[in-house]
Amino acid sequence: MTHRPTLAACRLLRFVGRVLVFAACVASVRAAPVTREYDLKAVFLYNFAMFVEWPKEARPPPGKPLVIGILGRDPFGRVLEDVVAGEVLGGNSLAVRRYTTPEAAAECHILYISESETPHLPQILAFLHGKPVLTVADMAHFAESGAIITFSTGTRVQLHINKAAAEAAGLNISSKLLRVAIMVEPSSPP
Amino acid sequence: MTLLNDLPVQKKLHFAMLLTSSFALLVACSVFLAVEYFGYRRNLVQTVTTLARIMADNSTASLAFDDPAAARQTLKALEAEPQIVVAILYRNDGHILAHYATHPVENPGRPGAAGVRFENGQVVAVQPVIEDTQRLGTLYLVASQDAMLARVRSQFWVALAILILATTLAALLAAVLGRTLARPIMELDKTVDAVTARQDYSLRAHQYGDDEMGRLTAAFNGMLATMQQSVGALRESEQRFRVLADHAPVLIWLTDEHGRHLWHNQRWLDFTGRPQATEAGEGWANGLHPEDREWTLRLFHAASETRKEFQLEYRLRRHDGEYRWMMSRGLPRLGEGAAFTGFIGSSIDVTDFKLAERAVAEARDRAIAASRAKDNFLAALSHELRTPLTPVLLLASEEAHNPRLPPEVRHDFEMIAKNIALEARLIDDLLDLTRITRGKLVLEQRPADAHAILQDALNTVDPDFRERRINLQVTMAAPRHRVLGDPVRLQQVFWNVLKNAAKFTPMNGRVTVETHVADRNRLLVRVTDSGIGLTPAELERIFEAFAQGEHADTAAGHQFGGLGLGLAISERLVQLHGGVIRASSAGRGQGATFEIELPLDRSGGEPVALPAVQPAAASVPAGGKFS
């Protein structure tokens, strides 16, 4: 039979429990964005690979790495490499590549468009539109970037997903990912 | 169990049925409850596992993209599952991303190993959260068993209610059934009691049905019928015995195995004039003659030891006070398995018989004494009579042939000599008979030629045949004719028979003498005459002493005197020689035949002494001498 403590002990336990749960929640949410915003984003970039399905022809063949690319100035340093090092997803290892031109970047699977490329963003996105590349942008000041996934940073890193863009790219985004993200209206391409 | 042994069968059956059904119900209910409990438990585990998997799967993105709100939203779906009381989503670093609780609970700190376990009466599921192959975090679920236990508890009460109801019904049924089943047994029991109490074998047990109990009852009734018959037969037999014993002409008594009297028949009681009660045990011995009492009782005790048939005579007081001699005879009574159970005896009054016996014995003694005196007298008398005759006979014979005397005188002397010779022979016969009777006759035993002896006898008798002109035919045909015996006495036998034939055969009659060997080793001498013959009555007494035929006085034989001793002596002599003499006749006027059979001598020829007979003293003058 279930052990039933006395009423007083019950109340004490409830109070202590509440305190602990609250503290834990606060600690876990707060730590990442304030101290290591780009560490978290690096992990997120890696995590996208788990929830996104590429069209058959774009999928990396076995033995070839799934490529995470960075266009423009690299804000991650070695962090992204550390995150993907040794990881294997769906039978593929992961690789990090840096690009300077959108043309070169079209070969990768996930492309982070750095803040440095913001002025050229419409051109870049226009070029990559319809290509099986998951474009990820950092938009601190705009509601949306036009990229498939946009990071917005408030108290925590929030995801915005442009579903129309994803569909245009032939990418299938898991509903689980959609559930934790904010859907945005597709922006008209420039 | 010994307590159960003494219970009535009905109660036993009742208990057995009740116990069986209760036990079966209890087992069934227990199994039911156990199956229910474990079924619920398995269900709960399965539910919790499934929920944990779904929750974990739905929480991957929340963990991957660090979204507590989304995670909370996911966990909130658990509100639909009231048994889930706590759900906590841990990140890989051990921090809590989101939690859900129906009521506030203590943070377990770390979720523990993956899997489902029971902890503090709750089901705890720890499910790793994995997307693709990446471990993103851990889901910690706690499900309460309270709802399940409540259901099990309510089922327990239902089961208990069913158990009590069913047991009560079973008890009622068992009571009814037990009574029905036990009825034949109770009936048998009742009948046995009644039969035992009343010794009434005509009672029968009622038979219910034709099952084993029914057949048992039938068999029991059959046994009762047999018993009734045998008891009836026994009573009848006993009745017969009493009637027989009471009306038997002898006194009958029974003893126990120690020789004490148990019972006497009516005749005994009538004889002694005392009732059964006082005669029982050793009371009957009070009626014994004081001289006989002690040894008689001792003998009864001894007989009880040996357990053998016994016989004794004692004097018993009759009702009129007179002591009577009783001859008693006891036979051992054998009970079942040949066990000795006492004696059955009979007693008869032998007083009269004893008196008669004594009288007879006395009369016989007197007769023997008288006979002996007579023999002695006869011997003395014969001797005294015979002795003076010899000189008279010698003198008369001498004078009869004296040429100097005139013929008339000589003729007188001849007459005197002839009559004295006759008288001497008669006296000799008497002496012989007396000797034989007193056992004083001694025979010589030696081989002798019977033909020669017969011829001598014939020569001696020849003048008689001539005188009467009897036609004598002699045929000595026996190839062997040597016998063992006393020639003088054998000649006397032949002479007697021939003389007898001559005596009773009329003038010009016919006498045949022949010899044969009969039966290989016996010599047969047959003398047949054509005389007056013998009647059957005469034949019967022909060899008795002094038993002349009635014709003896009338016939011509009168001149021979005739005390009738010759044939009697002859018979004794032949018997002493181991032979036989027979007489036969077709009747009066039909002539007579005498046969003498003697054993032939089969030894060498030396004189042999027969053990029964002393060697002859040869002092007795032969009868033939005086003819």
| Arithmetic mean of pLDDT over chain B | 84
Q: Which of A3, A13, A50 is the closest to B64 by Cβ?
A: A50
Q: Which two tokens stand for residue B430?
A: 């008497």
Domain that holds residue A106: 36-184
Interface check for A93 against chain B (CB to CB < 8 A): the answer is no
Q: Which two tokens stand for residue B220?
A: 């029991």
Domain boundaries, given as residue ranges, for chain B: 10-157, 209-246, 248-349, 368-439, 441-626
Homologous superfamily (CATH) for B441-626: Histidine kinase-like ATPase, C-terminal domain (3.30.565.10)
B134, B150 Cβ separation under 8 angstroms: no
Query: Whole-angstrom Cα distance, residue A96 to residue A102?
Result: 16
Q: Do A174 and B61 touch (CB under 8 A)?
A: yes
Interface check for B99 against chain A (CB to CB < 8 A): the answer is yes
Inside any domain, residue A189: no
- Topology of domain B10-157, CATH: Beta-Lactamase (3.30.450)
Residues of A in contact with B56 (CB under 8 A): none
Give the percent of chain B with pLDDT over 70: 92
Q: Which residue is closest to B88 within chain A, CA to CA?
A: A21
Please, which residues have CB within 8 angstroms of residue B618's CB and are 6 or more apart in sequence? B444, B488
Q: Do B66 and A40 touch (CB under 8 A)?
A: yes
Inside any domain, residue A10: no
Q: Which of B64, B65, B97 is the closest to A28 by Cβ?
A: B97
Q: Do B104 and A15 touch (CB under 8 A)?
A: yes
pLDDT at B81: 86
Q: What band does A15 get if pLDDT is binned at 50, 70 and 90? A: low
Q: B165-175: b or e for each residue (b if 16 or more CB lie within 10 Å)?
A: ebbeebeeebb
Which residues face B254 on adjacent strands? Answer: B263, B344
Do the domains B248-349 and B10-157 match in fold?
yes
CA dihedral B515, B519, B520, B526 (to 10 degrees): -10
Q: Which residues of A, range 49-88, sit inside 8 Å of B by Cβ?
A: 50-51, 87-88
Query: Whole-angstrom Cα distance, residue B549 to residue B353?
Result: 40
Say how many residues make up chain A: 190
Inside any domain, residue A28: no
Query: Whole-angstrom Cα distance, residue A98 to residue A101?
Result: 10
Please, which residues have CB within 8 angstroms of residue B81's CB and are 6 or more apart in sequence? B47, B51, B143
Q: Do A51 and B61 touch (CB under 8 A)?
A: yes
Helix intervals (H) in B273-350: 276-279, 290-306
Which of B35, B40, B33, B39 has the alpha carbon at shortest distance from B160? B33
- CATH architecture assigned to B248-349: 2-Layer Sandwich (3.30)
Query: Whole-angstrom Cα distance, residue B463 to residue B262?
Result: 86
pLDDT at B561: 47
Query: Tens of pLDDT along B94-104?
Result: 888 898 988 77
Would you say residue A30 has pLDDT above 70?
no
pLDDT at B147: 82
Inside any domain, residue A63: yes
pLDDT at A141: 52
Inside any domain, residue A126: yes
Q: Which residues of B, range 59-98, sit inside 8 Å of A by Cβ?
A: 60-62, 64-68, 70, 91, 93, 95-98
Inside any domain, residue A7: no
Interface check for B199 against chain A (CB to CB < 8 A): the answer is no
Q: Which of A17, A179, A181 is the closest to B105 by Cβ?
A: A17
Would you say residue B594 has pLDDT above 90?
yes
Q: Which residues of B, range 137-156, sit inside 8 Å of A by Cβ?
A: 144-146, 149
Q: Chain B: give the shortest CA distance to residue A111, in Å.
A: 18
Q: Which of B93, B96, B106 is the closest to A25 by Cβ?
A: B96
Query: Tens of pLDDT along B44-75?
Result: 889 899 999 999 998 998 888 888 888 998 89
Q: Which two tokens stand for residue A48?
A: 């996208």
Q: Do A25 and B68 touch (CB under 8 A)?
A: yes
Q: Which residue is closest to B62 within chain A, CA to CA?
A: A180
Residues of A in contact with B103 (CB under 8 A): 14
Interface check for A29 against chain B (CB to CB < 8 A): the answer is yes
Which of B429, B547, B546 has the alpha carbon at shortest distance from B489? B429
Q: Which of B95, B103, B131 is the closest to A24 by Cβ?
A: B95
| Residue B542 three-state SS | coil
Q: Which amino acid is at B135?
A: R
pLDDT at A138: 81
Q: Do B122 and A27 touch (CB under 8 A)?
A: no
Residues of A in contact with B99 (CB under 8 A): 21, 25
Query: Residue range B442-471: average pLDDT?
Result: 88
Please indicate whether residue A23 or residue B343 has the higher confidence score (pLDDT): B343
Q: Which residue is closest to A151 within chain B, CA to CA?
A: B65
CATH number, domain of A94, equals 3.40.50
Query: Whole-angstrom Cα distance, residue B317 to residue B325?
Result: 9
Query: Whole-angstrom Cα distance, residue A182 to residue B300?
Result: 138
Q: Which of A15, A156, A177 is the closest to B61 by Cβ?
A: A177
Q: Which residue is closest to A87 within chain B, CA to CA?
A: B134
A99, A106 Cβ separation under 8 angstroms: no
Helix intervals (H) in B534-626: 536-541, 566-576
Q: Which of B107, B121, B146 is the closest to A3 by Cβ?
A: B121
Would you say residue B2 has pLDDT above 90?
no
- In a 13 Å sphere around the CA of B11, the CA atoms on its Cβ side amount to 6
Query: Whole-angstrom Cα distance, residue B260 to residue B576?
Result: 58
Please indicate whether residue B626 or residue A74 has the higher confidence score (pLDDT): A74
pLDDT at B626: 33
Residues of B in contact with A177 (CB under 8 A): 61, 64-65
φ/ψ of A72, rounded to 5, equals 95, -155
Query: Tens of pLDDT along B474-508?
Result: 999 888 889 988 888 898 899 889 988 888 888 88
Which pTM value belongs to this model?
A: 0.45
Residues of A in contact with B98 (CB under 8 A): 25
Tally of structural domains, chain A: 1
pLDDT at B624: 34
Query: Whole-angstrom Cα distance, residue B614 to residue A45?
Result: 171
Interface check for A25 against chain B (CB to CB < 8 A): the answer is yes
Which of B155, B133, B124, B156 has the alpha carbon at shortest distance from B51? B124
Report DSSP letters for B87-106, one per residue.
Answer: EEEEETTS-EEEEEESS---
Q: Which residue is closest to B148 within chain A, CA to CA?
A: A1
Query: Tens of pLDDT along B256-288?
Result: 888 888 889 888 998 999 898 888 888 888 889
Inside any domain, residue A14: no
Q: What band does A3 get if pLDDT is binned at 50, 70 and 90? A: very low
Picking from B37, B55, B62, B66 by the largest number of A CB atoms within 10 A of its own CB, the best residue to mutate is B66
Query: Whole-angstrom Cα distance, residue B13 to residue B557?
Result: 118
pLDDT at A22: 46
Query: Tens of pLDDT along B363-379?
Result: 999 999 888 888 788 77
- In a 13 Å sphere around the CA of A157, the CA atoms on its Cβ side amount to 25
Q: Chain A: give the shortest CA distance to residue B96, in Å.
A: 6
| Residue B579 three-state SS | coil
Query: Whole-angstrom Cα distance, residue A133 to residue A118?
Result: 18
B453, B459 Cβ separation under 8 angstroms: no
C-alpha angle with apex A169: A166 to A172, nearest 5 degrees?
A: 50
Inside any domain, residue A12: no
Query: Whole-angstrom Cα distance, residue B11 to residue B6?
Result: 10
Q: What is the CA radius of gyration of chain B?
A: 66
Interface check for A155 against chain B (CB to CB < 8 A): the answer is no
Query: Residue range A136-147: average pLDDT?
Result: 69
Query: Tens of pLDDT along B26-49?
Result: 898 899 889 988 998 888 889 899
B578, B599 Cβ separation under 8 angstroms: yes
Query: Whole-angstrom Cα distance, residue A138 to residue A118?
Result: 9
Q: Which of B61, B93, B99 is the closest to A21 by Cβ?
A: B99
Q: Do A51 and B106 touch (CB under 8 A)?
A: no
Interface check for A9 against chain B (CB to CB < 8 A): the answer is no
